[in-house]
Amino acid sequence: MTKPMRIAVLGCGSRGRTYARIAASMPERYELVAVADRDEAKTATLAKLGEPGKIQVFDSDKTLFAAGKLADVLLICTQDADHYGNAMDAMELGYDLLLEKPAAETLERCEALDRKAREKGCRILPCFVLRYTPFYQAVRKFIDSGRLGRIISIRATEGVEAFHQAHSYVRGHWAKSENSSPMIVAKCSHDTDLMCWFADSTPKAITSHGRLDWFKKENAPEGAPMRCTDGCPVADECIFDAHRYLNEKRNFLRMVMPGAEGETGAYELPEEPILEFLRTSPWGRCVYHCDNNVVDHQVVACEMENGITASLTMTAFDCDRTIEIFGTKGCLRGGEPYQRGGSHELWYYDHYTGKTEEIQVEEAGGEGYAGHGGGDSGIIDALDKLFAGKDALEPGLDGLAGHRLAYQAEVSRLAGGQPAS
């Protein structure tokens, strides 16, 4: 009988907690052996996933690494700015890595990770979880079937959704590019990875335009205070009023508010602790009076090395993703907005017959963990195959092309749309 793959988790917040719980639901394949985080409550929660005393607990990355190599794979789920240093230290010990995206805060550091991984014989799998969803797996399978003919171009969109933009990229952890990474990397590297994966190529020339237009002080309603809790005259009609966290937006609190973790934590809290959190935390601020600087809309155009052209539109003011792939024999369309009209998720238009075929895609499963369209459970389900199976990854940073496309798009945007390569 094959021994379960041993897993350690560094960073026990929302992402680390999700991956650890999914792995723990597959005890015949994975064994959680160590967890590390500065927050004792978070490590205590994950330590309960194993038998008492069986999972080692550490209070920092330094104490974890000082203990030597404890597992086959280390899941690095720390903040963006910590990914590079954590990954470098882990590879010195010989860890294979499941690394939250982005792999590093600059392209140069992503490339340095790739070189280090090849030197040490380590494999780095970024958490580009959308690759592992039933939906995008079906897209890739359709491309591989040949029914599209030769791929000519790809068009993708990502609608972040207005309140999500405000929560994460105006009030939240990813509001300032210097503290995390640019919006096109922090949010859209999923999409740039998919574009390179579907094209089966790397970016050659990239141009991009985008800016922050709406979430700034000149757009604040007259009389709007610095905080929503200070009595805003337009609170009843404001999309972004922080009091919505008390009602239909409570789910957002589980990722940022102590005591609100888990699937039901935010819904079990009384109103007063939430109000106090909103009075004192970044998530109670008026979205027009924050210190954010990341864009709220951006477009990217790219030519791949194999000649395929691709484009991506990101906007705060739409909801969900779409993908369109145009080939010489037909075109394939799909994505969350297309689902609203019915149960089918992909549509194939055949250039020869002129007919459209509706294609069913299986529902996201994963033992109750359907986050990111099933990608969270999908990437953990694939982990042992990618690191130890007959088709295991080669040493290096997988998904480097998607990182390169995102980072070079930001280079172009900052240069006023000048091409980057």
Domain harbouring 352, CATH code: 3.30.360.10
Pairing of strands 30-36, 56-58: parallel
Q: Has residue 385 been placed in a domain? A: no
Comparing CA positions, the residue from 186, 159, 128 lying closest to residue 314 is 159
**Where are the strands (E) in 289-381, listed by range?**
297-304, 309-315, 319-327, 330-335, 346-350, 356-359
Instruction: Please answer whether residues 101 and 126 qualify as being in contact, where contact means their C-beta atoms are separated by less than 8 angstroms.
Output: yes
- Domain end among 127, 148, 166: 127
17 and 112 share one domain = yes
pTM beyond 0.85: the answer is yes
270 and 316 share one domain = no
Pairing of strands 330-335, 346-350: antiparallel
- Domain end among 244, 263, 284: 284
Put residue 345 in one of left, alpha, beta given phi > 0 → left and psi -120 to 50 → alpha: alpha
CB atoms within 10 A of CB 294: 27
The total number of structural domains in the chain stands at 3
221 and 210 share one domain = no
154 and 224 share one domain = no
261 and 223 share one domain = yes
145 and 246 share one domain = no
Q: Has residue 24 been placed in a domain? A: yes
Is the model more confident about 111 or about 81? Answer: 111
58 and 187 share one domain = no
* 232 phi/psi in degrees, rounded to 5: -95, 135
252 and 308 share one domain = no
315 and 224 share one domain = no
112 and 84 share one domain = yes
260 and 356 share one domain = no
Q: Has residue 267 been placed in a domain? A: yes
* Model pLDDT for residues 180-227, shown as the tens digit of each residue: 889 999 999 999 999 999 999 999 999 999 999 999 999 999 999 999
- Domain end among 231, 257, 284: 284
- Mean pLDDT across 147-158: 98
56 and 43 share one domain = yes
Q: pLDDT exceeding 90 applies to what percent of the chain?
A: 83
**Residue 371: pLDDT band by 50, 70, 90 thresholds?**
low
Instruction: Assign residue 19 the CATH number of its domain.
Output: 3.40.50.720
State which residues form the domain around 45: 5-127
